[in-house]
Structure 1
Amino acid sequence: MNEAFIWDLDGTLLDSYDAILLGLEETYQQFDVPFHREEIKVFILRYSVKELLVQLSQAEQIPLETLNTVRAHSLREKNAHIQLMEGAREILEWGHQTGIKQFVYTHKGDNAFAILDELGISKYFVEVLTGDSGFARKPHPEAIVYLVEKYDLSQETTYYIGDRLLDAETAQAAGIKSLNLTVASSANNTHIESLLAIKEVVG
């Protein structure tokens, strides 16, 4: 098989949004800032936690470095709350058994490596790129282009698998296909109802 999967993590392979929101809520509370959970969830799904904290820093005149430090400490304590999405381990094993090269590109920081190790899925990935790897953030295609070029992947048979519009936009910018858990099907993207549905698309 020539296919390659580049995986997003939060909301795609990792059932982690509750842990992320809990960590953010604690951060907001530490600085006595009201926390509107649903509004914040919508924001981070569309943009990112990094952008949320940038805006919070500006609005509340709190140094961004301070916010990031508090949030990172809280999030490390929440690692145990993070579980695999339904079907994640099975589809990763299926990809491994069928010879699909698998990678990760996530905005999550290097904390991701510890989580992947703890969940026992690090072995499935040829390379993992995080928000700390130095690439331009989504939807800029720099990180995906790097993987395509480094590993000589075919744009026609490489899929970026995610759960947000931002992920579909990143795939399109990189000239590869997209599989997405929430975005409707289009010329470049295929909507999937579950991770196991991936077998029907590329199997």
Structure 2
Amino acid sequence: MINAKQLKAIAFDLDGTLIDSVPDLHAATNATLEELGLPICQEEQVRSWVGNGAEKLMERALTFAKATEIENAELQMAMPLFMRHYEQHLQCHSKLYDGVKAALEQLVQAGHQLAIVTNKPYRFTVPLLEAFGIDHLFSLVLGGDSLEKMKPDPLPLTHLLAEWQLLPSQLLMVGDSKNDIFAAKAAGIASIGLTYGYNYGEDIGLSGPTAVCDTFSEVLAQITDRQNVLEQ
């Protein structure tokens, strides 16, 4: 159960949680494959490949295109191409999910500190937040390369607990992937799993989040409604 009365801070995943970024990731992936002379992929395939960082996405795309396991040297050769193409496609087709900006603003107004904890490289995370006008709402942004480890490792969340001097009961993780839920469990904090994002085709409820929401506005309701009940 989410203890809204104790809650002081909320960590949000980015891709598949706040922003539908797959259309641009798909464009960048296909541009990379085309440059390498390989078959391109479909958007739905990319939706099933994201969540573990840019390198893992490219590894999955190359494995698909070549229909065989790839060598690390091939992956390392492809990564600069992908990074260049994604920088060019960063916000061409991506969009905020419905209700995200308004809900984030209400959470900040209610006194919550907000953080981004994503596996997306930091160099792409901040420009995306700026492009959608929500960067000012977050007190801390952690990309997949900001620390030595990324989700599902708990390090980004334990780092956040230490940085903000929080008890585990005072921090909530909100995300769409089992990586978010496993990281939260390992850090000893509550989590909300979103059903609309990218989770490799799996039901997010199977990962055992504290609560499950079908829309972003339900996240706000989970916190504010419980807060109101507790204060009555």
Q: TM-score higher than 0.5 here?
A: yes
Closer/same/farther in 2, CA of residues 36 and 84 from structure 1, 3 Å limit: same
- Out of 189, 193, 203, the position equivalent to 2:214 is 193
Partners of 1:40 and 1:79 in 2: how far apart?
15
Partners of 1:16 and 1:149 in 2: how far apart?
30
* Aligned-residue offset at 1:131: 1.6
Give the RMSD, CA atoms, in angstroms. 2.2
Structure 1-normalised TM-score? 0.89
- Contact 1:185–1:191, Cα closer than 8 Å, also in 2: no
Q: Secondary structure at the match of 1:139?
A: coil
Closer/same/farther in 2, CA of residues 40 and 187 from structure 1, 3 Å limit: closer
Report the counterpart of residue 16 of structure 2 in structure 1.
11
* Aligned-residue offset at 1:49: 3.5
Matched, 1:105 2:117: yes
Q: Name stretches of at least 5 consecutive residues in structure 2 with no aligned partner.
A: 64-68, 196-203, 225-232
Report the counterpart of residue 181 of structure 2 in structure 1.
168
Report the counterpart of residue 89 of structure 2 in structure 1.
78
Alignment of 1:50-199 (within 5 A): 50-54=55-59, 56=62, 59=70, 63-81=74-92, 82-109=94-121, 110-182=123-195, 183-184=204-205, 188-199=209-220
Sequence identity percentage:
25
Structure 2-normalised TM-score? 0.79
Partners of 2:47 and 2:183 in 1: how far apart?
20
Partners of 2:71 and 2:206 in 1: how far apart?
39
Report the counterpart of residue 27 of structure 1 in structure 2.
32
Partners of 2:104 and 2:186 in 1: how far apart?
25
* Aligned-residue offset at 1:42: 1.4
Report the counterpart of residue 42 of structure 1 in structure 2.
48
Partners of 1:185 and 1:61 in 2: how far apart?
32
Q: Deviations over 1:45-82 (max 9, x none)?
A: 4x444223245386277533331111111111112322
Q: Deviations over 1:168-188 (max 9, x none)?
A: 111111111111112127764
- Contact 1:76–1:111, Cα closer than 8 Å, also in 2: yes
Q: Name stretches of at least 5 consecutive residues in structure 1 with no aligned partner.
A: none
Q: Secondary structure at the match of 1:80?
A: coil
Deviates more, 1:149-158 or 1:186-195: 186-195
Deviates more, 1:29-38 or 1:108-117: 29-38
Partners of 1:76 and 1:157 in 2: how far apart?
35
Aligned length: 202
Closer/same/farther in 2, CA of residues 34 and 189 from structure 1, 3 Å limit: farther
Larger radius of gyration: 2
Give the aligned residue type for 1:134: L
Give the aligned residue type for 2:81: V
